[in-house]
Amino acid sequence: MIGREHRAGSNELSPLEGEVVQHKQQVCAEREGDLSVAPSHSFTPFPDLPPQGEREHAEQAARGVSEQPKAKKKKRDVHGWLVLDKPVGMTSTHAVAVIKRLFSAKRVGHAGTLDPLASGSLPIALGEATKTVPFVVDGRKTYLFTIRWGEERDTDDAEGAVTATSALRPDAATIRALLPRFTGAIEQVPPRFSAVKIGGERAYDLARDGETVELKPRTVDIHRLELVKMPDADHAVLACECGKGTYVRSLARDLGRALGALGHVATLRRGRVGPFGEEEMISLERIEGLCHRATAGEQGQTLADVILPIETALDDIPALAVSPADAARLRRGQAVLLRGRDASIFRGMVQVACAGEIVAIAEVDHGEIVPRRVFNLTGIVGRAGRKVR
């Protein structure tokens, strides 16, 4: 009590109290912009921190994360065909995804898988053109392929593992003498690594899992098969024109077995699918360039100028023109009467158009036009010429 009373009435400060007062004076001076007061000891304050929201923004910027997610590109209605000259190494599924992205299309599909090892014609349908895919798939196909003699592989192409070898090498005369046996309607077993379904699963998925895949032979049509050249004793280049469901890999495998030389496909290029041939093919680089120019509006280029019309897939189907009133009824799914002197005797499928625009794929029977596939063409409709390169 004595000590406390004495300090309360005295003007003297203890060393600790003096240091506290001096620190308070320094803080006040710093707030007023006067830094002349020096502390009696070193003092390092904590750095000022930004508010919570600003700190998160700074951290995101440091990590390269944008403040807001990118808005998804709006999908649009695009209708027509694009015949991609698919490069080696790209899957058909990936090719479709690239085209879908470039055109921002709502609906895209292809008319016949092309192996990653293969290059060439991959017809891609956009929008309402997907309704005509069966007509393209059912068409004839042409291939140019190289067989490598001496090795049979589990995939029947160069990507697989070697399963058997042979030292025998056939000459040109022996090969040509064998080809008639593989022309016409023949029985063919698909490759183990193929898209054929077994019990609801793809054969290639089962094969990759190590399961034994037993595929049944199927009848396919080989319309033309000829030897083009023999670059050397180990290789032979052949040309083939075939129907739906034919596997060129199986053809190479079976030729190799029949010759006793064994073999697999080393290179493969598809030149035609149905109505689409080399003259309609366009490279991916060219498509990208045309799309960029169309988006930029250069030289009057539009996306419609890049895409082939839907009806280019229907070359083998007769065309029939109708009036606007009949076209409206067909679009509603209603049958209309076929007019003309041959109306009562005409039968079969027709492509129906009005004012130059395809309306429907229809069947004519007993003087009536009955719609089977109706086209709703809103948005971008392909109008490219037959030759786009």
- Catalytically active residues are 115
Contact 139, 250 (CB under 8 A): no
Q: What are all long-range contacts of 297-305, with beta carbons under 8 Å and residues at least 24 apart?
A: 302/380, 303/78, 303/103, 303/380, 304/80, 304/380, 304/381, 304/382, 304/383, 304/384, 305/383, 305/384
Contact 245, 220 (CB under 8 A): yes
- Tell me how far CA of residue 349 lies from CA of 354, 373, 380, in angstroms: 17, 11, 26
Residues in the chain: 389
Does residue 172 sit in helix, strand or coil? Answer: helix
- Tell me how far CA of residue 146 lies from CA of 88, 269, 272, in angstroms: 14, 9, 17
Does residue 146 sit in helix, strand or coil? Answer: strand
DSSP for 214-274, written as a single string: ----EEEEEEEEEEEEEEETTEEEEEEEE-TT--HHHHHHHHHHHHTS-EEEEEEEEEEET
Contact 291, 103 (CB under 8 A): yes
Among the listed residues 358, 354, 293, 368, the one whose alpha carbon sits nearest the alpha carbon of residue 324: 354
User: In sequence order, which residues have a C-beta less than 8 Å from that of residue 82 and are 6 or more positions away?
Assistant: 99, 123, 124, 126, 282, 287, 306, 307, 308
CA distance 377 to 354: 12
Tracing tokens 């006793």 back to the chain, one arrives at 260
Q: Structure tokens of 107?
A: 């609906």
Geometric angle at alpha carbon 126, from 111 and 205, rounded to 5°? 45
